[in-house]
Each structure stands twice: as structure tokens, then as C-alpha cells.
Structure 1
Amino acid sequence: MDDNDLAVRVTGLQKRYGDKHAVDGLDLTVARGEVVAVLGPNGAGKTTTIEILEGYRHRDGGDVRVLGVDPRTAGRDWRARVGIVLQGTNDLAEATVSELVRHFARYYPDPRDPDEVIDAVGLREKARSRTRQLSGGQRRRLDVALGIVGRPELLFLDEPTTGFDPEARHAFWDLITGLRDGGTTILLTTHYLEEAEHLADRVAVVRSGRVVAVDTPADLGGRSARQAVVRWTESGVRCEERTDAPTAMVTALASRLTGATGEVPGLQVLRPTLEDVYLGLIADDDAAAAATPAPALAMGAAR
């Protein structure tokens, strides 16, 4: 892909703290207009990588381009094109929600309407509340509002829905989908696999400071190519079989086992979930070495 089509290009990224490699040769690309979710256990290097891309932290090696610019030397114009939602902030606790969003809007050349942003993140009823009076989830929504008020080309979201209840999380997903449909590129970290599956065009899994797999949620780690598990009950015994052709197998079972009900007793057809694949990808190095990777996993690890 041409660099003009990329919002983020990272090659061989390195970050050390003493003898510890927090990021160890990480490669990642994000196309313009794409939503990419970065998954990984605590300590994998996700937040360090995001902070380097945001220009908050210096790297020890590798090449990084964000909107065509090295964040380490980026200027004010570049920062106006980037929106950032950190894991948590506690600034201006005495300001109201409305005051804070309007204050941040003044930093940008073409901000969104502050009232529209407050409505978008579900804080209309709290617009006149002081920041210190907000709950954890409400404060998180305010963080998102401050990240999007500048109408960014690229939006970084670091654990954006931590503290959200399910209703608020789904409302936030609608907001992110709308931003993507409007052309905003989004790079997010999350521990919610359902969130990654719902929002992301691609998912990158980070382990020990490296991207070990990157693909669509449906195909990550060869997920779509893995065998299905068909389970059913026959003569009172629970049966299970793995197959590459579950439809044909269910048809055969139906012709053999269906009675007056027309149903195969206890029928289940299961494919690996994103969680199944993710847990396999972040297994410790010894377990990973003992396993035989699927072809798609091997290809993803080489990227």
C-alpha cells in the first residue's frame, strides 16, 4: 500500500526501559479511513506503542509515520489533525462539562459544535455539572468528547469504554461507527473482544512487544478456516465431531436421526470465537512454540 493511503506506518519499533523491551520490533500499518483495534494482555506494549504514535513518548528505534509525519518532530499543525483519548485524565475538576468542551474546541481551527459533541457522548443532562461530580463512566464520555471536538483525521482511543455500562458502550459504538463513516481513521486499544469485533476492520494482537497476528476479526488466526464442532445427542449419548463441512454433516444427521419433531436432538454447530483465537495468540512463548500455528497465523506474525 502506498504511504499516501496510510494514516499510520510503524516499522521495527523499539522501546526499552533498562533491560526490559516494552516494544521489541513492532510493525503495524493503519489505512486511512480504517478502524484498527489493538489487543493484548497487560504489559504487552500496547499503551507504550500508542503513546509513541501520539508523540507523548520517545522511541529507541524503528521508523514511525503518523499522517505522513514523525510524531517525535511533529508540530502544532499535525497535532490539530489528531484526536487523543487517554486511559484517564483528572484535569480542570472544577470546570463544567460544557465549559471544558468549549475550552478545548478553541484549540482547533475547525472544531465540531460543542453542544453537538456533548449530545453525541450522552452528557446533555450533565452539561452543567462539574467534572469532579461525574461518575467514572461519565468522565470517560467526557474524555471522548475532548478527543473528538477538534474533528480529527486520526483518533486514538486507549481503552475508551472502561467504566461504561452496556447501554453506554453500545451508544459509544454507534458514535465511533458514525465517525468512521465520516472518514475518520481510528486506532483503539481495548480489552473488550466484543468491542473489537463490532468496531474494527482489522485486529492486531500484541504479545511481548510485537504484533503476532493481524487480520479481520472473522479471519484472525485462521479463525474462519478452522474446523467447526458439531454436537448432538444420539441414543441418550452426547456426541461431538469436528468437520470442515458442517452443513453436509447436519444434513446427514437430519436424514438419520430426525423423528416426528424434525429436529436433531441437542444439535449445536460451533466455530472458534474471537476469544478462543485471542487466548491462543497471547499464550506464553513456551506454549506458543509447542503449538502448530494455522497458516493465517504464521502469515500474520510475519507482517
Structure 2
Amino acid sequence: MAGVFEGVEVEARGLGVRGGHGWVYRHVSLHAAPGTLTVVTGEAGSGRTSLLLTLAGRMKPAEGTLTVGGLATPRRIRQIAALGLFTEVNPFDDALSVREHLQERLRPHGFLWRRRHPDAARSALAHAGLDPDALPHGDRTLTRELTRDQAVRLGVALALLDQPGLLLVDDADTGIPAGRRHEMWDILRGLADQGLTVVAACTDAEEATGVATTLLPLPVPRSPRLPRRPSSETTRGTTPGRRAPMRPRKESGDERPPPRPARTAQVHALAAHQGRAGRRDHAAPAVRRALPLVVLGSPGEPEPRTGGPRRGGPSRHRSRRRGRPAEHGGRGP
């Protein structure tokens, strides 16, 4: 890394990403030239992180157009864009040290590349403003021992090892004390001054106003309110699209129970049967005729056909359990 980066041009028009609960963000347009710092600001739920992931080729927009360095497909955009620390996307391994994270990031480049660039990790840490000597255990410090601003700087250093043309940093001010936020913005501004295209997201852009090339505020998208479902009382006896008139409220003394529905002949017969069943243990003959009960082997059962076993007859397995085997279709003892 020679210290001068080759930034790329970013052109987005009418971008929008739709999720399961509606639009995450919509109607976003921006232009970022090489060597500029674009700051995306917005509250939680405004889609800041999703917008950065879209610019990096990690999310596919539902509407709009996007070109990064003249490339339009997400697969090719991912080759020239690098992510800083995204807590929900590429978190650190708490069991690894700073040195181990740097070695893991350099491993995909191959052994020959590491030999040609022996100081690549040291140069990346310097551009990110992270001094290993200032850490508790040097570069052997575990990532869980880093402060928030040190973790963000390490994420920037790891992204610079990929030699990107576009750097994206999420939550650049989250969890960082107010006295150190301006240092983080100065670091990102310094990377942009060396030719890199930087897009960072934050919640408060007050301290980034003086260093940002472009400020892009994102409003929180409002999902359309669904109409309330009318109740059965308001829709009973009305035509579709018209609401039933409100009934006048009665006085407490005039309240009467609603009239009971008229009984049909079947309801009367059932009630009479239930009353007789409470006095006697057997069912009425009318109920027997209405609900016939078919029992296998009863006198009303048709005779089995000759030449074949009768369905439902005793099986050989059941006869053996009783100790008296019988052939299928035969009559038991």
C-alpha cells in the first residue's frame, strides 16, 4: 500500500429496498466521486445499514439503479467495495487477537502477495489510526479488550487490506465518547483526501458537518396504516361499503335481554328427547330410528358371501390368543 488509494465513482438513483414489513428505505439518490466522504445520517430504523450494504453489493435493491466504478451487478461491486466493522454482518472473533485478525485477512491473498507486501498490515493500521503499541498487549490484544473506537479503527484497517476503491463504515459514532468522535471523522477524512471513496453512517452528523463532502439524511419510512376491520355489529344488515347507523344507547332501567331465537321442530324434538333421557336410562324409539347403530354380528347384518371369508370375522391370530385356533371364516366355539 503506497498511501494513495484509487477511489471509484458511486452513482445511485432512486434506490429502495423492501423487506417483509414494508420498505426499509426508498427514493435514495447520491453521487460520490473519488476522494470524497459521504456521511449518511438517520435514526434507528431509517435503513442506514441496509443502504451501505446495498452500495457494497451485499443487498440487491428492489428499485432504482446503482453503479460503482462503472459496475452494476452486485457480484462485481463486491470485488471493489470493502466493509468496515458491521456488528451484525462481520463481527470480530472475541477469542482472536489483533494480529490473528490481520493474518486471517491477508491469507486469501496468497503467500507471494504477503512477501511482496510485508508491511501491509502495519500500513493499514497506520492509515486507520490504530497504534498497536497503545493497546494493552500490543497486537496480541484480544478484540474483546478493545474499546469501541479501537474496534472501529481495526475494522477500517482490515478493510484496507483488500485494497478497495470504496470503503463503507457503519455506526461511525455509536459508542464512541464525544471527545473522540472528531478523531474518527478526521481519520475518514484523511482516507478520502488520499483518493479513497468513503461512505460512513452515523446517528448524529453534528461533528461530521465540517469534514463531510456530502450529508445524506435518511427519514424513517412510515408504513401505511391498515384500515380497521369493522365489527359484526356495525356491518350486520348493511350493504358493502356503507356503515350501519349507531343505535341510541338505552337507559339502565330500560335494558331488556335480547329475544330468544325461534325454535325449530328439530330443536323441540331434541329438547324433548334430552328431557326423557334424564328420567330414563334408555333412548327413545324415535332416536333409535333416527340414529341407527350397526353392530357387527347383529341380526340386521347381511349374510356373508359363500366362497370367501367374511369381513370382520375372527382372525387366526385372535383365536390363537384364546388357545383355540380356528380357520378364517369359521365360527368360534
Shared fold per TM-score greater than 0.5: yes
- Tell me what 1:141 maps to: 153
Separation in structure 1 between the aligned mates of residue 30 and residue 78 of structure 2, nearest angstrom: 21
2: CA distance between counterparts of 1:201 and 1:48?
Answer: 21
| Helix, strand or coil at the partner of 2:207 | helix
Distance 2:35 2:150 in 1: 28
Question: Which runs of no fewer than 5 residues in structure 1 stay unpaired?
Answer: 211-303
One-letter identity of the residue aligned with 2:75: T
- Distance in 1, matches of 2:98 and 2:124, equals 11
| Contact 1:85–1:160 (8 Å) recurs in 2 | no
Q: Counterpart of 1:150?
A: 162
8 Å Cα contact 1:15/1:23 also seen in 2: yes
The corresponding residue for 2:96 is 95
TM-score (norm 2): 0.54
User: 1:28 is matched by which residue type in structure 2?
Assistant: L
> Partners of 1:34 and 1:135 in 2: how far apart?
27
3-state DSSP of counterpart to 1:196: coil
| Gap regions ≥5 residues in structure 2 | 1-6, 223-333
**Partner deviation per Cα, 1:223-247 (whole Å, 9 max, x = no partner):** xxxxxxxxxxxxxxxxxxxxxxxxx
> Which residue identity is paired with 2:78?
R
In 2: Cα distance, 1:128 partner to 1:205 partner? 39
Could you tell me how far apart the structure 1 residues matched to 2:163 and 2:178 are? 26
Match of 1:57 in 2: 59
Count of aligned positions:
204
- RMSD after superposition: 2.8
Q: What is the CA-CA distance between 1:163 and the residue it aligns to?
A: 2.5
Determine what percentage of the aligned residue pairs are the same residue: 27
Counterpart amino acid of 2:147? Answer: S
User: Normalised by the size of structure 1, how large is the TM-score?
Assistant: 0.59
Asked if the contact 2:170/2:201 (under 8 Å) is kept, the reply is yes
Following superposition of structure 1 onto structure 2, how do residues 134-213 of structure 1 map, counting pairs within 5 Å?
A: 134-208=146-220
Higher share of residues assigned strand: 1
Change (3 A) 1:174 1:136: closer
| Cα distance per residue 1:11-48 (max 9 Å; x no partner) | 22222123511122222221222111111222222221
What does 1:222-261 correspond to in 2, within 5 Å?
Answer: none
Cα distance in 2, alignment partners of residues 16 and 33 from structure 1: 31
Q: Deviations over 1:135-167 (max 9, x none)?
A: 333322222221223332211111124223345
Residue-by-residue CA offset, 1:33-82 (whole Å, 9 max, x unaligned): 211111122222222111111122222222111121124232xxx53432
Determine the structure 2 residue equivalent to 1:83.
Answer: 82
Q: Would the alpha carbon gap of residues 171 and 94 (structure 1) be closer, same or farther in structure 2, given more than 3 Å must change? A: same
1:77-96 deviations in Å (ceiling 9; x for gaps): x5343221143243332221
Secondary structure at the aligned position of 1:193 is classed as: coil
Cα 1:71–1:133 change in 2 (3 A) is farther
Q: Going by fraction, where is helix more abundant, 1 or 2? A: 1
**Residue identity matched to 2:125:** I
2:34 is the counterpart of 1:38: no
